[in-house]
Structure 1
Amino acid sequence: MIKQLYPLPDVGLRKQKTKSGIYLYKRGKCYRDENKKVKRTNDTLIGKLDEETGFLIPNKNYFVIFDKPMPKTHKLSNEYSTGYVSCYMNIFRQLGISDILLNIFGDEAELISHLAGYMVPEGNVMEGFKDWAQDHRIPERFQKNSQRLSEFFEGIMPVDIEEFKNKWSNSKCFNSAFYAYDVTSISSYSENIDELELGYNRDKELLRQINLSVLLDRNVHLPLLYDWYSGSLNDKTYLPYAIEMMQDTIDKKISLVMDQGFHRSETFKDLERRGIEFLTLLPSNLKTYDDLIDKCNAIGFKHVDRLSNPQKRAKTLDITLQGLKLKAHVIKDQDLFNQQLVSFYNDLDRKEQELKLLQKTKKLVRPGLTALFNVTQSKDLDLAYEPNNEAIDLAISRLGFIVLITNHPSLDAETALHVYRKKGLIEKAFDNLKNGLDFSRLRVHSGDRVEGKLFIGFIALILRMHMIHCLSSHELTKNIGLKRSIKELKKINTYKGKLRSTTAPLTKMQKNILTALNITL
Structure 2
Amino acid sequence: MAAIVYQTDKRSGITYAYESVSYWDKDKQQSRAKRTLIGRVDSETKEIVPTDGRGRKKKEVPAPPQRGPIPSVQTSRSFYGATYLLDAIGEKLSITEDLKHCFPSIYWQILSIVYYLILEDKNPLYRFEKWSSLHKHPYGKNITSQRSSELFTSITEEAKNKFFQLQGKRRTEKEFWAYDITSISSYSEHLRQVQYGKNKESDPLAQLNLALVFGERSNLPFYYRKLAGNIPDSKTIKNLLADLDVLGFSKVKLVMDRGFYSQDNINALFKEHLKFLISVKISLAFIRKELDLIYDKFRIFEHYSEKYELYCHTVQTNWLYTQYRPYKGDTLSEPRRIYIHYYYNIDKAAEDEKAFDRKLIALRHELESGKRVPEHENLYKKYFETKTTPKRGTKVTVNEEAVTKAKRYYGFFALLTNEKMDAITALEFYRNKDVVEKAFGNLKERLNMRRTLVSSEQSLDGKLFVEFVALIYLSYIKKQMQETHLFKNYTLQSALDKLDVIECFEAPGQKLRVGELLEKQKEIYIGLGVVPPSSL
- Place the TM-score, normalised by the shorter chain, in its bin: 0.7 to 0.9
Offset of residue 95 of structure 1: 0.3
Offset of residue 311 of structure 1: 2.5
Q: Is the 8 A contact 1:193 1:446 kept in 2?
A: yes
Offset of residue 166 of structure 1: 1.1
Question: Aligned pair in 2 of structure 1 residues 85, 350: CA closer, same or farther (>3 Å)?
Answer: same
Amino acid at match of 1:133: S
Q: Is the 8 A contact 1:328 1:403 kept in 2?
A: no
Q: Is the 8 A contact 1:257 1:420 kept in 2?
A: yes
Amino acid at match of 1:490: D
Partner of 1:174: 172
Partner of 2:276: 278
Offset of residue 283 of structure 1: 1.5
Amino acid at match of 1:452: G
- Matches for 1:146-161 after TM superposition, within 5 Å: 146-161=145-160
CA radius of gyration, larger in: 2
Whether 1:412 and 2:411 are equivalent positions in the alignment is no
Offset of residue 322 of structure 1: 4.8
Whether 1:342 and 2:341 are equivalent positions in the alignment is no
Q: Is the 8 A contact 1:280 1:405 kept in 2?
A: yes
Whether 1:451 and 2:461 are equivalent positions in the alignment is yes
Partner deviation per Cα, 1:83-134 (whole Å, 9 max, x = no partner): 1111111100000111111122224212111111111233473111122111
Partner of 1:232: 230
Q: Is the 8 A contact 1:165 1:249 kept in 2?
A: yes
CA distance in 2, matches of 1:253, 1:321: 21
Question: Aligned pair in 2 of structure 1 residues 402, 163: CA closer, same or farther (>3 Å)?
Answer: same
Offset of residue 500 of structure 1: 4.4
CA distance in 2, matches of 1:277, 1:140: 42
Q: How many residues align?
A: 441
Offset of residue 252 of structure 1: 4.9
Whether 1:114 and 2:123 are equivalent positions in the alignment is no
Offset of residue 458 of structure 1: 0.7
Amino acid at match of 2:459: R
Offset of residue 507 of structure 1: 2.0
Partner of 1:37: none
Stretch deviating more after TM superposition (206-215 or 310-319): 310-319
CA distance in 2, matches of 1:359, 1:441: 46
Question: Aligned pair in 2 of structure 1 residues 184, 350: CA closer, same or farther (>3 Å)?
Answer: closer
CA distance in 2, matches of 1:507, 1:110: 30
Three-state SS of the structure 1 residue aligned to 2:212 is strand
Offset of residue 280 of structure 1: 0.7
Q: Is the 8 A contact 2:352 2:411 kept in 1?
A: no
CA distance in 1, matches of 2:428, 2:198: 29
Partner of 1:126: 125
CA distance in 2, matches of 1:259, 1:107: 40
Match for residue 331 of structure 1 among 326, 331, 342 = 342
Partner of 1:496: 506
Amino acid at match of 2:356: D
Partner of 2:215: 217
Question: Aligned pair in 2 of structure 1 residues 350, 263: CA closer, same or farther (>3 Å)?
Answer: closer
Question: Aligned pair in 2 of structure 1 residues 113, 417: CA closer, same or farther (>3 Å)?
Answer: same
Partner deviation per Cα, 1:42-67 (whole Å, 9 max, x = no partner): xxxxxxxxxxxxxxxxxxxxxxxxxx
Question: Aligned pair in 2 of structure 1 residues 121, 476: CA closer, same or farther (>3 Å)?
Answer: closer
CA distance in 2, matches of 1:136, 1:362: 66
Whether 1:398 and 2:409 are equivalent positions in the alignment is yes
Match for residue 297 of structure 1 among 295, 298, 310 = 295
Offset of residue 330 of structure 1: 4.0
Q: Is the 8 A contact 1:117 1:463 kept in 2?
A: no
Q: Is the 8 A contact 1:351 1:369 kept in 2?
A: no
Three-state SS of the structure 1 residue aligned to 2:236 is helix
Question: Aligned pair in 2 of structure 1 residues 113, 450: CA closer, same or farther (>3 Å)?
Answer: same
Partner of 1:95: 93
Whether 1:162 and 2:161 are equivalent positions in the alignment is yes
What are the ranges of 5 or more consecutive residues in structure 1 without an aligned counterpart? Answer: 1-75
Question: Aligned pair in 2 of structure 1 residues 505, 288: CA closer, same or farther (>3 Å)?
Answer: same
Partner of 2:194: 196
CA distance in 1, matches of 2:258, 2:214: 17
Match for residue 509 of structure 1 among 511, 516, 520 = 520
Offset of residue 200 of structure 1: 2.6
Stretch deviating more after TM superposition (231-240 or 380-389): 380-389
CA distance in 2, matches of 1:434, 1:414: 32
Q: Is the 8 A contact 2:257 2:280 kept in 1?
A: no
Match for residue 266 of structure 2 among 264, 268, 285 = 268
Three-state SS of the structure 1 residue aligned to 2:452 is coil
Q: Is the 8 A contact 2:506 2:513 kept in 1?
A: yes
Q: Is the 8 A contact 1:328 1:405 kept in 2?
A: yes
After superposition, the CA RMSD in angstroms is 2.6
Partner of 1:377: 387
CA distance in 2, matches of 1:285, 1:261: 14
Offset of residue 260 of structure 1: 0.3
Whether 1:428 and 2:442 are equivalent positions in the alignment is no
Three-state SS of the structure 1 residue aligned to 2:162 is helix
Whether 1:80 and 2:74 are equivalent positions in the alignment is no
Partner deviation per Cα, 1:149-194 (whole Å, 9 max, x = no partner): 10111111221111111111112x4354211111112222223322
Please give the TM-score of this superposition, normalised by the length of structure 1.
0.78
Three-state SS of the structure 2 residue aligned to 1:366 is helix
Amino acid at match of 1:482: L
Question: Aligned pair in 2 of structure 1 residues 212, 139: CA closer, same or farther (>3 Å)?
Answer: closer
Amino acid at match of 2:348: Q
CA distance in 2, matches of 1:243, 1:416: 22
Amino acid at match of 1:384: K
Question: Aligned pair in 2 of structure 1 residues 96, 352: CA closer, same or farther (>3 Å)?
Answer: same
Whether 1:473 and 2:483 are equivalent positions in the alignment is yes
Amino acid at match of 1:150: S
Three-state SS of the structure 2 residue aligned to 1:177 is coil
Offset of residue 513 of structure 1: 0.9
Q: Is the 8 A contact 1:215 1:226 kept in 2?
A: yes
Amino acid at match of 1:470: Q
Whether 1:247 and 2:245 are equivalent positions in the alignment is yes
CA distance in 2, matches of 1:198, 1:300: 44
What are the ranges of 5 or more consecutive residues in structure 2 without an aligned counterpart? Answer: 1-73, 322-334
